[in-house]
Amino acid sequence: MSDSHEPRLVHLFTDGACSGNPGPGGWAYILRDLRTGHEQERSGAEVETTNNRMELMAVIEGLQALKRRCQVELFTDSVYVGKGLSEWMPKWKSNNWQRREGARKWVPVKNVELWQQLDALSAQHNVHYTRVAGHSGHPENDRCDELAVAAYRRLGDPPAAPA
Protein backbone atom coordinates (compact mmCIF):
# COMPACT_ATOMS: atom_id res chain seq x y z
CA MET A 1 0.00 0.00 0.00
CA SER A 2 1.29 3.45 -0.89
CA ASP A 3 2.01 6.02 1.82
CA SER A 4 0.47 8.77 -0.34
CA HIS A 5 -2.69 8.83 1.81
CA GLU A 6 -0.93 8.83 5.17
CA PRO A 7 -0.48 12.26 6.74
CA ARG A 8 3.01 13.63 6.23
CA LEU A 9 4.96 14.29 9.44
CA VAL A 10 6.24 17.86 9.69
CA HIS A 11 7.89 19.94 12.37
CA LEU A 12 6.69 23.53 12.71
CA PHE A 13 8.94 25.87 14.71
CA THR A 14 7.46 29.29 15.46
CA ASP A 15 8.17 32.53 17.27
CA GLY A 16 6.79 36.02 17.57
CA ALA A 17 8.55 39.18 18.69
CA CYS A 18 7.44 42.69 19.53
CA SER A 19 9.24 45.95 20.24
CA GLY A 20 6.92 47.35 22.85
CA ASN A 21 3.63 45.69 23.64
CA PRO A 22 1.86 47.02 21.63
CA GLY A 23 4.38 48.13 19.04
CA PRO A 24 5.98 46.89 15.85
CA GLY A 25 6.08 43.12 15.80
CA GLY A 26 7.20 40.19 13.72
CA TRP A 27 6.42 36.52 13.33
CA ALA A 28 8.42 33.67 11.83
CA TYR A 29 8.25 29.96 11.22
CA ILE A 30 10.40 27.10 10.00
CA LEU A 31 8.51 24.21 8.46
CA ARG A 32 10.43 20.93 8.07
CA ASP A 33 9.15 17.89 6.19
CA LEU A 34 10.66 14.93 8.04
CA ARG A 35 10.35 12.57 5.08
CA THR A 36 12.11 14.75 2.52
CA GLY A 37 14.14 17.02 4.79
CA HIS A 38 12.81 20.04 2.87
CA GLU A 39 12.63 23.23 4.95
CA GLN A 40 10.79 26.48 4.45
CA GLU A 41 11.40 29.70 6.41
CA ARG A 42 8.97 32.61 6.33
CA SER A 43 8.48 35.78 8.34
CA GLY A 44 6.35 38.90 8.35
CA ALA A 45 5.59 41.95 10.43
CA GLU A 46 2.91 44.40 11.52
CA VAL A 47 3.38 48.04 12.47
CA GLU A 48 1.19 48.02 15.60
CA THR A 49 0.58 44.70 17.31
CA THR A 50 1.26 42.62 20.42
CA ASN A 51 3.60 39.76 21.17
CA ASN A 52 0.68 37.34 21.65
CA ARG A 53 -0.74 38.25 18.23
CA MET A 54 2.64 37.64 16.61
CA GLU A 55 3.00 34.26 18.35
CA LEU A 56 -0.42 33.28 16.97
CA MET A 57 0.37 34.61 13.48
CA ALA A 58 3.53 32.50 13.29
CA VAL A 59 1.53 29.31 13.86
CA ILE A 60 -1.31 30.40 11.55
CA GLU A 61 1.09 31.25 8.72
CA GLY A 62 2.97 27.98 9.18
CA LEU A 63 -0.19 25.88 9.07
CA GLN A 64 -1.49 27.83 6.06
CA ALA A 65 1.67 26.86 4.17
CA LEU A 66 0.73 23.17 4.32
CA LYS A 67 -0.86 21.95 1.10
CA ARG A 68 -2.39 18.75 2.48
CA ARG A 69 -3.31 17.10 5.79
CA CYS A 70 -0.24 16.63 7.97
CA GLN A 71 0.76 15.37 11.36
CA VAL A 72 2.31 18.53 12.81
CA GLU A 73 4.66 18.71 15.76
CA LEU A 74 4.47 22.38 16.80
CA PHE A 75 7.49 23.70 18.69
CA THR A 76 6.91 27.07 20.37
CA ASP A 77 8.14 28.97 23.39
CA SER A 78 4.70 30.58 23.76
CA VAL A 79 2.77 29.18 26.71
CA TYR A 80 -0.12 31.37 25.48
CA VAL A 81 -0.28 29.49 22.16
CA GLY A 82 0.42 26.07 23.66
CA LYS A 83 -2.11 26.23 26.48
CA GLY A 84 -4.57 27.97 24.19
CA LEU A 85 -4.45 25.08 21.74
CA SER A 86 -4.30 22.24 24.24
CA GLU A 87 -6.40 23.50 27.18
CA TRP A 88 -8.27 26.78 26.73
CA MET A 89 -9.69 26.62 23.20
CA PRO A 90 -12.18 23.77 23.82
CA LYS A 91 -13.63 25.71 26.78
CA TRP A 92 -13.75 28.97 24.82
CA LYS A 93 -15.56 27.27 21.95
CA SER A 94 -18.15 25.70 24.25
CA ASN A 95 -18.72 29.17 25.78
CA ASN A 96 -19.16 30.89 22.40
CA TRP A 97 -15.57 32.21 22.40
CA GLN A 98 -15.92 33.84 25.79
CA ARG A 99 -13.94 33.39 28.98
CA ARG A 100 -14.61 34.09 32.61
CA GLU A 101 -13.15 37.22 34.13
CA GLY A 102 -13.76 37.30 37.83
CA ALA A 103 -16.52 35.36 39.52
CA ARG A 104 -19.46 36.20 37.26
CA LYS A 105 -18.41 38.25 34.27
CA TRP A 106 -18.00 36.73 30.79
CA VAL A 107 -15.78 38.58 28.30
CA PRO A 108 -14.79 37.87 24.70
CA VAL A 109 -11.55 35.95 24.25
CA LYS A 110 -8.69 38.29 23.31
CA ASN A 111 -7.48 37.88 19.73
CA VAL A 112 -10.63 35.84 19.02
CA GLU A 113 -10.36 36.20 15.24
CA LEU A 114 -6.86 34.70 15.32
CA TRP A 115 -7.90 31.89 17.67
CA GLN A 116 -10.82 31.05 15.38
CA GLN A 117 -8.49 30.99 12.38
CA LEU A 118 -6.06 28.77 14.27
CA ASP A 119 -8.94 26.50 15.32
CA ALA A 120 -10.03 26.04 11.70
CA LEU A 121 -6.46 25.36 10.52
CA SER A 122 -5.62 22.96 13.32
CA ALA A 123 -8.81 20.99 12.54
CA GLN A 124 -7.33 20.27 9.09
CA HIS A 125 -4.25 18.65 10.64
CA ASN A 126 -3.21 16.55 13.61
CA VAL A 127 -1.34 19.18 15.67
CA HIS A 128 0.69 18.28 18.76
CA TYR A 129 2.25 21.05 20.86
CA THR A 130 5.74 20.84 22.35
CA ARG A 131 7.01 23.71 24.48
CA VAL A 132 10.59 24.85 24.06
CA ALA A 133 12.36 27.31 26.31
CA GLY A 134 12.88 30.64 24.56
CA HIS A 135 16.36 32.14 24.19
CA SER A 136 17.92 28.93 25.49
CA GLY A 137 20.06 27.75 22.60
CA HIS A 138 17.31 25.81 20.76
CA PRO A 139 18.57 26.33 17.17
CA GLU A 140 15.22 26.56 15.39
CA ASN A 141 13.61 28.69 18.09
CA ASP A 142 16.59 31.04 18.06
CA ARG A 143 16.42 31.23 14.25
CA CYS A 144 12.69 32.02 14.34
CA ASP A 145 13.34 34.76 16.89
CA GLU A 146 16.07 36.20 14.66
CA LEU A 147 13.73 36.15 11.64
CA ALA A 148 10.82 37.72 13.56
CA VAL A 149 12.96 40.55 14.95
CA ALA A 150 14.50 41.20 11.51
CA ALA A 151 10.98 41.33 10.01
CA TYR A 152 9.74 44.09 12.29
CA ARG A 153 13.03 45.98 12.04
CA ARG A 154 12.57 46.10 8.25
CA LEU A 155 9.47 48.20 8.90
CA GLY A 156 11.80 51.05 9.83
CA ASP A 157 11.35 53.62 12.53
CA PRO A 158 7.80 54.80 13.11
CA PRO A 159 7.12 58.39 12.05
CA ALA A 160 7.86 60.99 14.71
CA ALA A 161 4.90 62.49 16.51
CA PRO A 162 4.06 66.02 15.39
CA ALA A 163 5.58 68.72 17.60
Q: Which residues are registered as beta bridge partners of 76? A: 131
pLDDT digits (tens, 9 = 90+) for 94-148: 999 999 888 878 899 999 999 999 999 999 999 999 999 877 888 999 999 999 9
Segment 146-155 shows an average pLDDT of: 96
The contacts of residue 8 (CB under 8 Å, 6+ apart) are: 33, 34, 35, 68, 70, 71
Question: Does any domain span residue 109?
Answer: no
**Considering 15, 46, 61, 140, which one is annotated as catalytic?**
15
Q: pLDDT class for 160, splitting at 50, 70, 90?
A: low
- Residue 78's domain comprises 3-87+121-153
**Considering 26, 46, 55, 140, which one is annotated as catalytic?**
55
Question: Does any domain span residue 110?
Answer: no
Per the structure, the count of domains in the chain is 1
Question: Does any domain span residue 146?
Answer: yes
Question: Does any domain span residue 44?
Answer: yes
Q: pLDDT class for 162, splitting at 50, 70, 90?
A: low
pTM of the complete model: 0.90
Question: Does any domain span residue 12?
Answer: yes
Active site residue 15: yes
pLDDT digits (tens, 9 = 90+) for 2-54: 445 677 999 999 999 999 999 999 999 999 999 999 999 999 999 999 999 99
Question: Does any domain span residue 98?
Answer: no
**Considering 46, 61, 77, 140, which one is annotated as catalytic?**
77
pLDDT at 102: 84
Active site residue 135: yes
3-state class (DSSP) for residue 136: coil
CATH number at residue 73: 3.30.420.10
What's the CA gap between 121 and 115, in Å, rounded?
A: 10
Question: Does any domain span residue 24?
Answer: yes
CB-based burial label for 80 (10 Å; 0-12, 13-18, 19+): middle
**Considering 16, 25, 44, 62, which one is annotated as catalytic?**
16
Question: Does any domain span residue 93?
Answer: no
Active site residue 145: yes
3-state class (DSSP) for residue 119: helix
Active site residue 11: no
pLDDT at 4: 56
